[in-house]
Amino acid sequence: MSLSTVIGFSLSLLLIIVSIIELTTNFKIFLHLSGLLMVVGGTLAAAHVGFEMRYVKQALGNIKAIFFSPKMARGMLTNEVARVIRWGYLLQKSGIQALESDVKSLKSQDAFLAYGVGLVVSGYTGEEVRHMLDNQVETAFQRHTVSVEILKYMASNAPAFGMMATLVGLVVMLDNMDDPAKLGPGMAVGLLGTLYGVLFARLVLMPAAEKAHQRESIIRFRNMLVAEGLVMLAERRSPRFIQDAMNSYLDPAIHFDIDKAPKK
């Protein structure tokens, strides 16, 4: 689980509930199924109209995914440097054929790494490897952030559908003008649509979009880091040069040190 996401979401809900408890004991006035259906249903419907279904499904999956730990964390970057350096030693000791077994094992684990090592094994120059991997990194990032744009689109629409629910509530309220006792409760119910729209946008959709984008940016950075290492493998750079070059991309606190690495 992503502890920060769970804590942040739970704390936000708790603060809203406590605020309501402080203001009124009639909690049921904040529950309005029709308004909720208009906001959530309308937002989802607009997303399906504006985007292909598979991308909307991916976007909704991102909402669920933010509550789980990310695939790539900060500390894992050191391991990526160590892996490329190990490949550098293999190249020095056994030649290009030594990497072929790693390509086979990587295909089912990490498609990007398998593709990159395959380029090195194929004998491309460093610049050729850099060009192809840069294309791979950027196009993958663009594909994976389509869902982020959909979430932001939904977040911009949710308050509008909340206002629509409010307008419907006001029309119903005005239809009961002959009974003044119903005007206050009717107005309260009508305004709940706006409340639902804002909460859905600002507590669910926008945070999910930002966290999904952040995670994809980390994966993009990791792929750029690994791509740089593979370029240096293609150029037959020494393991120590690879270490220093890759470490230059990282926070000094997570630098890899060949001299401190366990000897095999």
Q: Which residue stretches of 175-205 are H helix?
A: 183-199
The predicted model scores a pTM of: 0.86
Block residue for tokens 């999904």: 212
**pLDDT tens across the length of the chain (264 residues):** 788 899 999 999 999 889 888 888 877 778 888 888 999 999 999 999 999 999 999 999 999 999 998 888 778 899 999 999 999 998 888 888 778 777 777 877 888 999 999 999 998 999 999 999 999 999 999 999 999 999 999 999 999 999 988 888 888 777 777 777 666 666 766 788 899 999 999 999 999 999 999 999 999 999 999 999 999 999 999 999 999 999 999 999 999 998 877 655
For residue 197 the two structure tokens come to 């729209």
Q: Which of 233, 242, 227 is nearest to 133 (CA)?
A: 227
Query: CB within 8 A of 38, min separation 6: which ones?
Result: 161, 162, 164, 165, 168, 193
pLDDT score, position 249:
93
Residue 110's CB is within 10 A of a number of other CB atoms, namely 14
Block residue for tokens 């709940």: 192
For residue 133 the two structure tokens come to 């991997």
Domain boundaries of the chain, sorted by first residue: 35-264
* Alpha-carbon gap, residue 104 to 248, rounded angstroms: 30
* Alpha-carbon gap, residue 90 to 233, rounded angstroms: 10
Q: Which of 59, 64, 61, 78 is nearest to 2 (CA)?
A: 64
Strand locations in 32-160 (E): none
Query: CB within 8 A of 126, min separation 6: which ones?
Result: 231, 232, 234, 235
* Alpha-carbon gap, residue 30 to 179, rounded angstroms: 22
pLDDT score, position 20:
86
Cα-based distances in Å from 129 to 59, 115, 136, 169, 250: 32, 10, 11, 61, 22
For residue 148 the two structure tokens come to 């982020």
pLDDT score, position 47:
96
